[in-house]
Structure 1
Amino acid sequence: MTYTDKDDLIATSRRYKICVLIPTYNNAGTLRDVITDVLNYTSDVIVVNDGSTDSTRQILQSFGETITVVDYKNNKGKGTALKSGFKRAIELGYEYAITIDSDGQHYPDDLPKFIQAIAENEGSLIVGERDLSNVDINGKSSFANKFSNFWFCVQTGRNLKDTQTGYRAYPLKHLHGLSLLTSRYEAELELLVFASWNGVNIISIPIRVYYPPQSERVSHFKPGLDFTRISILNTILCGMALLYGVPARIWSSIKNKRIFSMEFRPFTCKKGEKKEAATTLGRLVRSLYGLSYFVFWSMFVFTPGAYLYFWFGKNTENKKLRFHKMLQWISNFLTVRFPGAKTIYENPSNETFDKPALIICNHQSHLDLPVLMSTNPKLIFLTNDWVWNNFFYGKIIHYAEFLPVSAGMDVILPHLKSLKERGYSIVVFPEGTRSADCSILRFHQGAFLLAQELKMDIVPMVLHGAGYYLPKKDFMFRKGEITLRIMPRVSSDKYIDLALREQASLFRKIIKNEYSEIVKRKETAEYFRSLVLYKYAYRGWATVSRCKHLLNESRQFDEIINSGANHKRVRILNSGIGTFALLYALVNKHSEIYAFENSSSDYRIAETTANIPTNLHYIHAVWNSELDSAENFDLTIILDSDSKNQSSNNTIYLPLKS
C-alpha cells in the first residue's frame, strides 16, 4: 500500500488536512535543506522562527509563499514555538500537524509513513521511534531519553521506547494541556503525558535518524539547568497523575467506551466460526418464550387433548373436520404470537379453497406449517420424516392425517384421492428442503405428478420472511415480518400438455418472480436493521454503540438506501466499521457495493463481520489513488458528519459518522 506519485501524496495529505510544522532556532546551516526536502512531499508547511539570531529569516524569505511563517523576535523555547505553530495550523483549517526538527536529524522521506499512520489511526498521536543502536549519540542524550521514558511510564502506565523524538504527528482536535505547557523542549514530553491521560491513542512507527559528528552539532541542551527543570516537572507530573491523570484515564475509557472492548465470543461464535447473527439477550428471551409457549400448547394441551378427543366416540367426518378447525385455531393463536414478528396474509384473488386444490409453496422455516395451516382448516400436508416423527407434535400430525412423502406414491396416492373427495386440499413443498439463504431451490416433479393424478387445480403460495425470522442453521428467533401471499388458482388442464419437468420449471419461475416482487416491497432498510445490529452485537461496547447510532441516524436517509437498485456499481467512502455499507448492500442485492475505509481498525471490524453479502466489497484504502475513479461508479456516497459539500447527481454527501 503506497502512493503513486507526489501529486497523489499531496492530495492525500490535504484530504486528511495534514500540515508539516518545523520549529527552528539558529539552525541556518541545515534549515534550507530541510524545508526543500519537506516540500518534495507536501505543499503545506509551517515554519516557526523562534527568535533566531542567525540568517534564518533571510532563508525563510527566500521560499516566498510556498511556506507559511510564524516569526517573533525573542527566543521563547520549543514549547512556545509548538504552541504558536499549532495555533496557526488550526487557524488554517488543518487537523493534523507533523512536527519535524530543523537540525537535519530527521528524514523527510519518512513523511509518507506518518501520513499513512494518521489515515489508519484516526485521532491518534503518532510518535516516530528512532533506532539509536547504531548512531553516534552522546551519553547525556541517551540518558535523557531513558530518563524520560521511565517517568512517562510511571505517570501514564504506558511504555514508549522513544519519548524524546521531535518527529511526531499531533491530532490538533485532541491536544490537551496546551495552557499548562512549559516553554522549553520538555513540552514534548508534557504533550505525550496529557494526551495519554485524556485517552488519546499513541502509536509508534519506526523512523530513521541522522546524527552528524559531535563536533558539527548545534545543541541547545544545557545539562545542569535542563535536568533540574525536567526533574521538577516530573515531580509535578507524578503528583498530577494521582490527582488528575488516573481519574481522567478512567473517565476517558468510559466516555470513549474502551472498557468492555473485547468481543464476547460465546455469543458471537459457534465452534470457532462467527454466527450470522449474534445470540443477543433479546433473541434468547424471545426464543425461550416461544419454545416454552409452543411446547406447552403442543405437548401439554393439544396432544393430550387430541388423544382424548379421538379416544372417545366414533371418528366421524364432522369430528375430523372439527379437529382440523381446532388445528387452524391453534395455528392462528401461535402465529399472531410469534415473539418479535408480525405475520401478514395477502389474498388478492380471494381464494376460499371451497374446491380442493394442490397447494405448492416455497419452503423457508419450521414455522411454514403453522403459517399455512392458519389459512384454512381443510389442508393436508405432505411432510418429511423429521416432521412426521417429531417428538413435540408428531402425534398431532398423525391425527390430522398428514402423510410422509417417504411412504412412496403408491402408498399415499389412494389416501390423497380419498382426502380430495372429502374436500381437503393438499399442500406440497416442491423444493423438498429449505435453502439457507431463502432462495427458491429447484422444484421436484412429484408435486405436478400428483396434480395430474388427482386432477386438481394448482394454487401457488409464496412465503417471505419466515426463513429470516427463524433461519435454517439457527434455532433462535430474530425480529422480523412474515408474509404469505396466495396467488391465483391455475386450472388443472391449463398446462396438461407440458412435461412434468417443464411444469416444475414453469411454476418455480412463477413463484420465484412473485417472491422477487415481495422482496422489492418488503426488504427495505428498516427490514434489515435488526439483522445488521445482530451482526455487530457483542463485538465490543464501542463497536455496538457506533452501529446503533448509525442505524438510528440513517433512518432519515432510507429513501436513498431503498432506491439504490438502479445503480450497478456504488462507491461508499469513509465506510467506517461497515454498518451503512452492509445495510445498503443487503437492501440492494443486485448492486455491487465497494466500501472504502482508511482506518485499519475499522476496516478489520468491517471485514470480519459474519456472512458478508457477496455483492459487498470492503477495501482498505489510504491514498487517493486507491479510491478508484468516480467515473467507474454509477453513484458515490460519502459519509462525513462534518461535510458542508452539496450533493450532485452521482455524488451524495450524508452527514453520518461511520
Structure 2
Amino acid sequence: MKRSKGRTLNFIKLIIAKFLTSVLYTNPFVKKKFIKNPNEDFSRPAVLIANHTSFLDTLTMAMTTHKIIFLVNDWVYNSPVFGKIVRALGFYPVSQGIEKGMRQLKEKVDQGYSLIVFPEAERSYTNDIKRFHKGAFYIAEEFGLDIVPVYIHGNSEVQPKGDFIIYDGTITVKVGDRIRKEDESFGNTYSERAKKINAFFRERFAAFRNELEDENYFKKKLFLAYLYKDNEVVQAVKDDFNRNKSVYYELNKHIPKDAHILHIADDFGQKDILLTLQQASRRIFSFIKNEEKRRIAEQTYLVKKRKITYINKMEEINKKIDILLISDRSFDISTLLELPETIIFMNVKSDSFNHADYSSKFGSETLKIFSLE
C-alpha cells in the first residue's frame, strides 16, 4: 500500500477515525463520554499528550480529531493485521528514534496534522500517571508546537493492561487547555517542560478522577476479584461494601496516595483491595488473625497487581509505617510496641485509646483519626 498524501490521506484518516471510534461502541455495556474543550478545535497543529493504561487508548484518542499522526510502538507498526494501514497513514515507530523521523513528522505537521504521543512510553497496570519521557516535549520544542493534554479516564478499569476482556464501565475523555509554546511557567527547555507538565497533568487528572469516581466506582472491580470464591465469601464482601461504602469513600480522603499502611483487619481483604484501587501507590501490610480469611485474601488476583502483603507477625513489615488502620474490633492497640504518626479506627471503638502525644483530627460515628501533635 502506497503512502497516501494530501486530500486522499485526510479523507482516509477521517474514515479510519470514525472506524476506530465505532469499535468503542461495539460493547453496549461500556458507556462513552467525550468532553470537548470549547477553546479547542485542533485547527492549529499541536502535540497531544495522554495517559496510557490500555490498548483502547489509541481508539479513544480518535475521538479528538481525525487530523492526527500517532507515534507508535513496533508491535503496532509491524502488525501483520493493520501494519500496512498504519504505515500508509504515516504513523511513526518510536523505536527508530525521534531524531531520525523529524523530517517525516515535520511534513505531516506542515500539512496541518497534530502528533499524538503517550509520554509515559508504555501502558501502566494502574491508573497512576507515571514519569513522562522527554520525546513529546522535544518534538514540540523543535517544531514550535503547543501541547494539548488529553485526559483518558476509565480504560484502566474497562480494559486493563494484561487483560483480554473488555469489562462493563465508562470511558470518559476530556480535552484540556492548550499549553502555549511561549508559556514559560512550564519551563524554558523541553526537559523542564517534561517535568512540570508531568506534575501538572497528574494534578489535573487527580481532580478529574475526583469528579468521576463516586463511592460506587470500584464496586464492580472489587466484586469481580471475589467472583470465584465460595458463596458465603462473595455475599460477605458484597454486604460489607454495600453497608460501608460511604465510610470507605470518606476514608480514602484521609489517606495519602503513597502512604505505607499497617491494616489490622478481620475481613477477606476487600478493604485492602479497595484502598489500592483508589490509589495504586499505597503500600499495605495487612494482618488478619483468622487464618482462613487471610488465606482467601492472599489468593485474590488483584493482590498480585497491587502493593498488598499479608503478614503473620509484625516483624515481617519492612517499610516505615505512616498509618495504622484498625478495623478488627477484637484488636488491642496496647499490644503494639511502636505507633506511627497517624492512627485510624474504622467501625471500631476508640474509647480505650488515650495517648498524650496524639490528638483527634477527624471524628464521625464510623471513623476516628488521631495524629501525633
Q: TM-score, normalised by structure 2?
A: 0.76
Is 1:356 the equivalent of 2:45? Answer: yes
What is the aligned counterpart of 2:270 among 562, 571, 579?
A: 579
Q: Structure 1, residues 52-78: CA drift from partner, whole Å, max 9, x if none? A: xxxxxxxxxxxxxxxxxxxxxxxxxxx
Is 1:634 the equivalent of 2:349? Answer: no
The separation in 2 between residues aligned to 1:516 and 1:452, in whole angstroms, is 27
What is the identity, as a one-letter code, of the residue corresponding to 2:332? S
- Residue of structure 2 equivalent to 1:384: 73
* 8 Å CA contact 2:187, 2:193 repeated in 1: no
Equivalent residue runs for 1:270-281 within 5 Å: none
The separation in 2 between residues aligned to 1:514 and 1:558, in whole angstroms, is 25
Q: Equivalent residue of 1:634, what SS?
A: strand
Instruction: Pick closer, same or farther for the CA change 1:529–1:494 going to 2, 3 Å.
Output: same
Could you tell me how far 1:391 is from its partner in structure 2?
2.4
- Residue of structure 1 equivalent to 2:183: 494
Is 1:564 the equivalent of 2:255? Answer: no
Q: Structure 1, residues 7-58: CA drift from partner, whole Å, max 9, x if none? A: xxxxxxxxxxxxxxxxxxxxxxxxxxxxxxxxxxxxxxxxxxxxxxxxxxxx
Q: Structure 1, residues 68-121: CA drift from partner, whole Å, max 9, x if none? A: xxxxxxxxxxxxxxxxxxxxxxxxxxxxxxxxxxxxxxxxxxxxxxxxxxxxxx
What is the aligned counterpart of 2:22 among 333, 339, 350?
A: 333
What is the aligned counterpart of 1:448 among 122, 137, 143?
A: 137
For structure 1, the 5+ residue unaligned runs are 1-306, 640-647, 654-658
Could you tell me how far 1:370 is from its partner in structure 2?
0.9
Is 1:533 the equivalent of 2:228? Answer: no
The separation in 1 between residues aligned to 2:82 and 2:17, in whole angstroms, is 14
Instruction: Pick closer, same or farther for the CA change 1:504–1:618 going to 2, 3 Å.
Output: same
Q: Structure 1, residues 477-511: CA drift from partner, whole Å, max 9, x if none? A: 23332222211111122249623221111111111
Is 1:625 the equivalent of 2:312? Answer: no
Q: TM-score, normalised by structure 1?
A: 0.45
Instruction: Pick closer, same or farther for the CA change 1:468–1:619 going to 2, 3 Å.
Output: farther
* 8 Å CA contact 1:562, 1:588 repeated in 2: no
* 8 Å CA contact 2:34, 2:63 repeated in 1: no
Instruction: Pick closer, same or farther for the CA change 1:393–1:442 going to 2, 3 Å.
Output: same
* 8 Å CA contact 1:572, 1:638 repeated in 2: no
The separation in 1 between residues aligned to 2:83 and 2:25, in whole angstroms, is 22
Q: Structure 1, residues 273-305: CA drift from partner, whole Å, max 9, x if none? A: xxxxxxxxxxxxxxxxxxxxxxxxxxxxxxxxx
* 8 Å CA contact 1:636, 1:651 repeated in 2: no
The separation in 1 between residues aligned to 2:190 and 2:129, in whole angstroms, is 18
* 8 Å CA contact 1:571, 1:636 repeated in 2: no
What is the identity, as a one-letter code, of the residue corresponding to 1:652? T
Q: Structure 1, residues 141-191: CA drift from partner, whole Å, max 9, x if none? A: xxxxxxxxxxxxxxxxxxxxxxxxxxxxxxxxxxxxxxxxxxxxxxxxxxx
Q: Equivalent residue of 2:105, what SS?
A: helix
- Residue of structure 2 equivalent to 1:58: none
Instruction: Pick closer, same or farther for the CA change 1:590–1:323 going to 2, 3 Å.
Output: closer
Could you tell me how far 1:387 is from its partner in structure 2?
0.8
The separation in 2 between residues aligned to 1:594 and 1:404, in whole angstroms, is 42
Report which of the two structures shows the higher radius of gyration computed on alpha carbons: 1
Instruction: Pick closer, same or farther for the CA change 1:624–1:355 going to 2, 3 Å.
Output: closer
Aligned positions, number = 331
What is the identity, as a one-letter code, of the residue corresponding to 1:637? N
Instruction: Pick closer, same or farther for the CA change 1:398–1:344 going to 2, 3 Å.
Output: same
What is the identity, as a one-letter code, of the residue corresponding to 1:353? F
What is the identity, as a one-letter code, of the residue corresponding to 2:193? Q
What is the aligned counterpart of 2:291 among 588, 593, 600?
A: 600
What is the aligned counterpart of 1:652 among 355, 361, 366?
A: 366
* 8 Å CA contact 1:443, 1:504 repeated in 2: yes
Q: Equivalent residue of 1:536, what SS?
A: coil
The separation in 2 between residues aligned to 1:632 and 1:503, in whole angstroms, is 36
Could you tell me how far 1:376 is from its partner in structure 2?
0.8
What is the aligned counterpart of 1:344 among 11, 33, 48?
A: 33
The separation in 1 between residues aligned to 2:97 and 2:285, in whole angstroms, is 50
Could you tell me how far 1:320 is from its partner in structure 2?
1.6
- Residue of structure 1 equivalent to 2:13: 324
What is the aligned counterpart of 1:432 among 116, 121, 126?
A: 121
Q: Equivalent residue of 2:247, what SS?
A: helix
* 8 Å CA contact 1:379, 1:424 repeated in 2: yes
- Residue of structure 2 equivalent to 1:213: none
Q: CA RMSD in A?
A: 3.5
Give the number of the structure whose residues are more often strand, by fraction. Answer: 2
What is the aligned counterpart of 2:87 among 398, 401, 424?
A: 398
Instruction: Pick closer, same or farther for the CA change 1:320–1:397 going to 2, 3 Å.
Output: same
Could you tell me how far 1:543 is from its partner in structure 2?
2.5
Instruction: Pick closer, same or farther for the CA change 1:446–1:595 going to 2, 3 Å.
Output: closer
Q: Percent identity?
A: 26
What is the identity, as a one-letter code, of the residue corresponding to 1:560? V
What is the aligned counterpart of 2:234 among 537, 541, 544?
A: 544
The separation in 1 between residues aligned to 2:238 and 2:206, in whole angstroms, is 29
Could you tell me how far 1:459 is from its partner in structure 2?
0.8
Could you tell me how far 1:533 is from its partner in structure 2?
1.8
Could you tell me how far 1:441 is from its partner in structure 2?
2.2
* 8 Å CA contact 1:480, 1:527 repeated in 2: no
Give the number of the structure whose residues are more often helix, by fraction. Answer: 1
- Residue of structure 2 equivalent to 1:26: none
The separation in 1 between residues aligned to 2:276 and 2:294, in whole angstroms, is 16
